[in-house]
Amino acid sequence: MLRRIGKASTRRIYPSLVIRRRVAVRGHVQGVFFRETTRRRALAAGIAGWVSNRPDGTVEAVFEGEREGVEHLVAFAREGPRGARVDWVDVVSEEPEALEGFEIR
């Protein structure tokens, strides 16, 4: 379950350490454990957010946390797990929402 913390308190603790990226991944990315692999990597890296299959066949995810961990997950999204074929990735920077935890939606 995701939980939001007040934005003001988060900014006081780590003013610019937390970043947020939304990714949309196209290709053969559903049915290849993309979401579960992403979840495991996010938890191992201490990254919050979520990952979801979309009706159009893409995988969408939000990664929020320290820059290094978030960028590592964005790089993983560009390659995907074994069995995936990533054709295109769209990455958008967003304002962090102080999420906690990581879930498959």
Question: Would residue 53 show up in a list of annotated catalytic residues for this protein?
Answer: yes
Q: Are 61 and 50 in contact (CB under 8 A)?
A: yes
**105: annotated active-site residue:** no
CA R_g for the chain: 13
C-alpha 34/C-alpha 51 separation (Å) is: 9
The active-site residue, picked from 21, 35, 39, 41, is: 35
- Catalytic residue, candidates 53, 67, 82, 85: 53
As annotated, the active-site residues are: 35, 53
